Chain A
Amino acid sequence: MSPLLEIRDLRTAFPGARVGRGRGEPVHVVDGISFDLDRGEVLALVGESGSGKSITALSALRLVPKPGRVVAGEVRLDGKNLLELSVGEMRRIRGKRIAMIFQEPMTALNPVLRVGDQVVEAIQLHETVARADARARTRALFAEVGIPDPEERLDAYPHQLSGGLKQRVMIAMALSTRPELLIADEPTTALDVTMQAQILRLLRDLQRERRMAILLITHDLGIVNELADRIAVMYAGRLVELASRSDLLTNPLHPYARGLLAAIPALATPGTRLHEIPGVVPSASRWPTGCRFAPRCSERFEPCTVQDPVETTRPNGRRVYCHAVAEGRR
């Protein structure tokens, strides 16, 4: 059986800056990403800000903000290429089969509508159900995502709820149509630590109960450890390493992945300087040639700054894009 979501060589570009009368080269923010996501699997897309992880997810939904657009590649859901669907067909897939939750629960709910009505409308958008039934389902969903007094909260306005409750409403809304794939774009970044833990546990429980796949976008490796089955590390619009959680967290192969792990504060001993990766992510309009991480890499050698790194595949499906790994230096 084919995987639920297949992304093949996805490239998303924004038109370049105006140069004189014309435009400069288009900027490839996502530049040739491929990965699979199985049913019921949690794949974490990890990377620094600007590495293209959110744009990858939005490309899959065909909601790249204008004027950007997907210029090449395939996004297959159950073998069907989403990039070839009509606008109407795509709209029926959004929300119904692929749902998404956002980073900022404070602004992700319409302030002038009752939260219950917003979920009811989400249900009625994709299914023909009576309002009363949709409302009953919403109440059950609210209870399921751990909202106390669900009946009362149905009639609350967003500003009457705390950030954690709003995020739970968002999750309820995303789950209301029983999607097969949930894209979670930094779902806990805006919440405090205790609330983060609760929401993560909730997501994990719901994912297990419903056998739902999650594409988790985050820069927080702590969250990754809680939830993910596999981890894809992105850097500068490309994948650098894709491995199972245990492989990546215990034995990262790519120098960038190692740098990321070393930079987690919790793992450092007190008093020592926190590890940092020197330099910054290059701007998308000036990707370096060769391996994009090469300028910041402590292990670079001749081919790194000239040639694109080749893919090294390990038997368990682990993929690394690094010259050093390819040549067996590591």
Chain B
Amino acid sequence: MTGVEPYMFSNLGTLLLLAGIGFTARVVRRNRLWREAATSLWRRRRLALCVLGVYFAIALLDSVAWKGGVPVDAVGVLPNAPYSIVDRIFLGTVEASYSAPFASVEFYGGSSLRNPGTHPLGTDIIGRDVLYMALKGARVALLIGGLTSLIAIPLALLFGVGAGYFGGRFDDFVFFLISTLASMPGFLLLIALIMAMGRGTLSVCVALGVTSWVGFCRLSRAETLKLRELDYVRAARVLGVSEPGIIFRHILPNLAHLIVITFVLMFSGLVLSEAVLSWLGIGVDGSWGQMIDGARDELSREPIVWWNIAAAGTALFTLILSVNAVGDAVRDVLDPRTQGDAP
């Protein structure tokens, strides 16, 4: 065995994620208000939630990788590389060139395929299975949406709640930061950040996170300003609760519904932003955005190679549609302005 390798971190991350989800589920189940919200959400958006579940399952199957157990003689297989479950299903299906969906001969040239009739969505210019690439994109998309939110939301809460609660100098500083960011063209800043940090999943996520926290920061600041003056916060102060105690016990839990709503609504925007970045050539490897970018020129071929872009576009579209549908429902369920009680 060699030392620690990147795929091990990925496996560990997956494990932590599953533990986190288990923990969240436990919390939701034990708190009556959250449980009711979850049930109501399930009743409203069964289909969209199932679709998201499928995407998530695919991403999970693609996140756990190990070495060995691969047919070494197959085309394009590296004997000593880690392969995930999704990888293993499509191992050795590489063709020499384009195949149309379910075709038995190559799309250009007409010579017979290595695996005739086994590419439900065809292959791309270098013969990779399109279905395989589309499935691989799920993990990248969820990673971008999730990781970026994990960067942007805490950042927004730190500045927003801090500014709203403490006011004064810190508030001025945060507003200076916000207006500075707002006075720069967002996309140029994003591109500049990625260029400065170098390409890669993490730097794209950091760049997206740094440029997308402003909106939620304003929202959480305003909400904190409101909560700070409410009687139960004043009552806590009269009881002698310390400042951190008030923030963590009385302010943040009452922002929880906003955090959930923001997370869901932010998610789809982030995945789309990545597609745009990929189209500009600075996205994350293996994303749908990159597939779409790669398929751009192939639309001008004769006969047209359409399945490539169609697969990536459909996968992206379905994910965004489901997330947005769930997001709307989350807002309906949790937002006190559209419902009687805040959770």
The residues of A with any CB-CB pair to B shorter than 8 Å are 61, 63, 66, 91-96, 99-100, 102-104, 107-113, 121-122, 125-126, 157, 159, 170, 173
Contact = CB atoms under 8 A, between A and B. Distances in A.
A72 to B, nearest CB: 23
Given A102-B231, A107-B231, A108-B232, A113 B253 contact: yes
A181 B177 CA distance: 45
B253 A99 contact: no
16 contacts: A91-B242, A95-B239, A104-B231, A109-B235, A110-B236, A110-B249, A110-B250, A110-B254, A111-B232, A112-B253, A112-B256, A112-B342, A113-B249, A125-B239, A157-B33, A170-B235
Contacts of A109: 232, 235
Contacts of A93: 240
Interface residues of B, number: 24
Contact of B235 (A92, A102, A126): A102
B296 interface: no
Nearest to B343: A112
A173 B254 contact: no
A93 B238 CA distance: 9
Given A102-B231, A107-B230, A109-B232, A125 B343 contact: no
Contacts of A125: 239-241, 245
A99 B254 contact: no
B239 A94 contact: yes
A122 B239 contact: yes
Contacts of B240: 91-96, 125-126
A110 B341 contact: no
A157 B32 contact: yes
Nearest to B227: A110
B237 interface: yes
Interface string B240-280: 11100100011001101000000000000000000000000
A208 to B, nearest CB: 23
B229 to A, nearest CB: 8
A100 B232 CA distance: 12
B238 to A, nearest CB: 4
A99 B238 CA distance: 7
Nearest to B239: A95
A46 B198 CA distance: 69
Contacts of B46: none
A111 B254 CA distance: 8
A63 B238 contact: yes
Contact of A94 (B167, B231, B238, B249): B238
A131 to B, nearest CB: 15
Contacts of B33: 112, 157
A126 B245 CA distance: 13
Contacts of A159: 341
B234 interface: yes
B28 to A, nearest CB: 13
A170 B343 CA distance: 20
A245 B245 CA distance: 41
Contacts of A111: 232, 254, 341-342
Contacts of B239: 94-95, 99, 122, 125, 173
A99 B240 CA distance: 9
B339 to A, nearest CB: 12
Given A102-B231, A170-B235, 18 more contacts: A92-B240, A94-B240, A95-B238, A95-B240, A100-B238, A102-B235, A107-B231, A108-B235, A110-B236, A110-B250, A110-B253, A110-B254, A111-B342, A112-B253, A112-B256, A112-B342, A112-B343, A173-B235
